[in-house]
Structure 1
Amino acid sequence: MRVFKFVSFALLALTLLFTSASTVSALDRRVRIVNDTDYAIIRFYGSNKGSDSWEEDILGDDILASGDSIVIDFDDGSGYCKFDFKAEFDDGDVLEKRNVNVCKIGTFTYN
């Protein structure tokens, strides 16, 4: 009977572990980036907390003009919810925001 209880408990624990892992990976990581400043964002980076670099410019050849927004899917396959953002503006300013939880927010506004 004791072995049965242990096996049942182990199976329950594994089920909860896999359910939690699949729930995390299924979280919506899409975020609307809003430029509510007077300047265009010419480069934008979003790197997960496990990364040691800014990766590539998400905007590529595009810009995010004043008053515009863009939806970015931060699901990079890593499972991370916390990302660092870096926006470079056409007036030379650079703004960084660390530990943005993309699983919990739907909009991030620069103003």
Structure 2
Amino acid sequence: MKTVASKALLVASSLLFMHGAAFAGQQDFSILNKTGYALKHIYVSESNSNSWDEDILGRDLLENGEEFEVSFDKAEATCKWDMKVIYDDGDSAVWGGLNLCKISKLTLKWNKNTGVTSASIE
């Protein structure tokens, strides 16, 4: 009985996962803030755009250690995107030409020796 219930749960979980993936864009990714500081704004715009789209954070702050999921419409075809983050003190960092069709996670880190924010890609 336990084996049958486990298999049923596994199948149900798989169907739920596939259902959610069917509505996800191939550009979906997460941002993990490991900078040591809070982020106040996150902007993601197509690489060929001359301006930033609206702030996608949707809340006051992304605290150090927190992760934020970024979702795209499944009909979105563009893979190359630029991203800008702004710290709660106003400092910012920008990355251009991110291929979000191949990136699932960006981990942001700040180097206090150089004053540079970097993004490691998964």
Q: Equivalent residue for 1:108?
A: 106
1:54 aligns with 2:52: yes
Q: Equivalent residue for 1:89?
A: 87
Q: Is the 8 A contact 2:25 2:72 kept in 1?
A: no
Secondary structure class of the residue paired with 1:52: coil
Secondary structure class of the residue paired with 2:52: coil
Output aligned runs, 1:62-73, within 5 Å. 62-73=60-71
Q: TM-score, normalised by structure 2?
A: 0.63
Identity in percent: 40
Q: TM-score, normalised by structure 1?
A: 0.69
**C-alpha deviation, 1:76, in angstroms:** 8.0
Q: How many residues align?
A: 86
For the structure 1 residues 77 and 62, does the alpha-carbon distance in structure 2 shift closer, same or farther, using more than 3 Å as the test? farther
Structure 1 unmatched ranges of 5 or more: 1-25
Q: Equivalent residue for 1:29?
A: 27
The structure where helix makes up a greater share of residues is 1
Q: Mark the structure with the bigger radius of gyration.
A: 1
CA-atom RMSD in angstroms: 1.9
Q: Greater relative contact order: 1 or 2 (C-alpha under 8 angstroms, separation 6 or more)?
A: 1
**C-alpha deviation, 1:105, in angstroms:** 0.8
Structure 2 unmatched ranges of 5 or more: 1-23, 110-122
* In structure 1, C-alpha distance between the alignment counterparts of 2:32 and 2:72, rounded to whole Å: 15
* In structure 1, C-alpha distance between the alignment counterparts of 2:58 and 2:74, rounded to whole Å: 17
Q: Is the 8 A contact 1:46 1:74 kept in 2?
A: no
